[in-house]
Amino acid sequence: MAPSPSNRKLDISRRLPVGVEVVNHIQSADRMVHARVWAPACKSVDLVVEGGETFALEQEPNGYFAGLAKGVTTGTRYRFRLDGGDALPDPASRYQPEGPHGPSEVVDPQHFEWSDTDWRGVSIEGQVLYELHVGTFTKAGTFRAAIERLPDLVDVGVTVVEVMPVADFVGQFGWGYDGVNMFAPSHVYGTPDDFRAFVDAAHRLELGVILDVVYNHLGPDGNYLARFSPHYFAEKATEWGASINFDGEGSGSVREFFVANARYWIEEFHLDGLRLDATQQIWDSSARHILTDVAAEVRSAAAGRATIVIAENEPQDARLVRPCDTGGCGMDALWNDDFHHSAVVAATGRSEAYYTGYAGTPQEFISAAKYGFLYQGVYYMWQHGPRGSPAFDLAPSRFVNFTQNHDQVANTGNGKRLHQETSPARARALTAMLLLAPQTPMLFQGQEFHASSPFHFFADHAGELGAQVRAGRSAFMSQFWSVAARDEATRILDPAHPSTFVRCKLDWSERERNADVVALHRDLLRLRREDTVLRRQRAHAVDGAVIGPHAFALRFFGDAGDDRLLVVNLGARHHADPMPEPLLAPPAGRRWRTVISTEDQQYGGWGTPPLPSDDQGWWLPSEFAAFLAPTP
């Protein structure tokens, strides 16, 4: 065994507190790396080079082991041996070329040549998000292949791509929420530099990129963190396994690990922010919540670039997006399940499981446009208690609205998209509501061209684990009566079967075949971007009125009476007369003119009569939406 040189002989400036980093700045021509790993219960840790030397790391007083290894450089594969026993992958591995159970590989991020030096990042205001899963976004399912479709997103008006988790996981396909190598982009999608190339290409197109990260649990297979220290995990469980220890014994180093992960994605991959999965399952009773540290670290790592940090939080806790000095976590936005649930019930009529408590009524859409969350502390029958917290003070951009996402499409059981569960006209009307409401809109991959490909739950777990995953998924889906009515054997497709994954891949030829759908999305987003009133997203600048059983109007207040009107009817043709509603009155001395209607023939509709008509009040076509502006 060859001992490493003393760390005290050279000035080692690490980028991150953990992992193996190439040393490029010392006064030596030798190739070498510096390794650092937390293993507080161990007496010795060695860096074992595959087919080469073994280097003993020096023990630090705080449970870390560190040292230099000569002759080790980019591309070298290695493991850490604990107390002379098994050699395990690096907990902070930057790349696992053979998957989580294989050796780690040394990566030097400085080899990649960036072209985005003038990129200034993105802030939440004015953005249009697009959630994508790398493995199904293209037929090839790689970072490089995904680059080819980015211009199509720009064309339709998307401004920020939200990439589903890429932390390496076991198997050849999965959603990514069972990742186990927090710092290693999944080898099934490509190399770390391939992911960098994806981000760089997006920035050249003026697209931001944020990454979905999972800080509430790790996957069940390939997770070696506990072998290095049991303190990584807490006794309290999440819905998916043991929770991360952010406030117990040894939690200081655990917090450092995850905060470093947040910095890593921003610094070394030039990402524009993070989306944090299921934050309600991140347990932390510390005086300063780990989410506060993560958000602050993202800002610090960006070094002046604008960033976005979004949380998924089922209880809809508004404190997450409030400033730190008022007790908040300083995040930028929260996913808004309320809007989605109302839209689904309006589209399908199915008020089941967690859709219980939503009716898809005009008033729900009005309240969502005005206040973001519908449940802000009132009783929610599905959970038999109050849901949400007051959010009246939050700007509309703080709420991320959607009618589809990975969970909700998969939770139909058959993986159907919303447009497949309702009429084409109602789907167009709901699209207008989503894209013109003052909140931040998010599309799910393929939504902009009405993709026919489903999105199922898939996870490449074999044997007993695979059987457990399928059983667990089937049990979860049984909460939906429309799914529970099926035989258990056919309730869901086998998550581990390759065909379940393959059938979820987008067919991009549908984008040309469904050009009318693309045109509607493109025109609505252009209107959102260019209209002087819509693009402001000002708080308390929208009001609404119910004008029929399934019809409503939203008034967007501009300056000096330069208002806008969005009229939506999700039911049968409706004659609104009389109409004693001041929100429908045009500004003084002017009339309303239709700027865009979802029933325009170029979008696949039947055409729209004048709104309002010259006589007999307002005739609202069935299942339509129209955006109106005052005449000059």
Give catalytic residue positions.
277, 312
Place of tokens 């693009």: 535
Asked whether 95 and 104 are in contact (CB, 8 A), the reply is yes
Give the Cα separation of 505 and 520 in Å (integer).
Answer: 23
Judged on CB neighbours under 10 Å (0-12, 13-18, 19+), 248 is: middle
The residue type found at 294 is V
Continuous segment of H or E residues that includes residue 399: strand 399-401
Give the Cα separation of 391 and 389 in Å (integer).
Answer: 6
CA dist 346 to 97, 139, 358, 631, Å? 46, 33, 9, 32
Cα torsion angle, 90, 91, 95, 99, sign: positive
Place of tokens 């005086």: 287
SS3 for 461-484 is: CCHHHHHHHHHHHHHHHCCCHHHH
Query: In a 3-state reduction of DSSP, which class is residue 4?
Result: coil
Give the Cα separation of 368 and 58 in Å (integer).
Answer: 57
Give the Cα separation of 213 and 167 in Å (integer).
Answer: 8
Query: In a 3-state reduction of DSSP, which class is residue 631?
Result: coil
Give the Cα separation of 65 and 88 in Å (integer).
Answer: 15
Residue 379: φ, ψ to 5°: -65, 135
Q: How many residues does the chain have?
A: 632
Please provide the DSSP assignment of 492-549 as one string: S--TTSHHHHHTTS--TTHHHHTHHHHHHHHHHHHHHHH-TTGGG--TT-EEEEEEET
* Gyration radius from the chain CA atoms: 26
Give the Cα separation of 404 and 133 in Å (integer).
Answer: 13
Asked whether 66 and 1 are in contact (CB, 8 A), the reply is no
Give the Cα separation of 62 and 534 in Å (integer).
Answer: 54
Give the Cα separation of 143 and 170 in Å (integer).
Answer: 18
What the block records as the tokens of 376 is 């802000």
Q: Give the residue from 13, 33, 8 showing the smallest Cα distance to 23.
A: 33
Contacts of 472 (CB under 8 A, 6+ apart): none
Asked whether 620 and 569 are in contact (CB, 8 A), the reply is yes
Helix, strand, coil percentages (3-state) for the chain, rounded to 5, are: 30, 20, 45
Cα 391 to chain centroid distance, Å, stands at: 21
Give the Cα separation of 398 and 394 in Å (integer).
Answer: 6
> How many other C-beta atoms lie within 10 A of the C-beta of residue 364?
20
What is the DSSP pairing of strand 564-569 with strand 624-630?
A: antiparallel
Q: What is the DSSP letter of 57?
A: P
Give the Cα separation of 50 and 32 in Å (integer).
Answer: 15
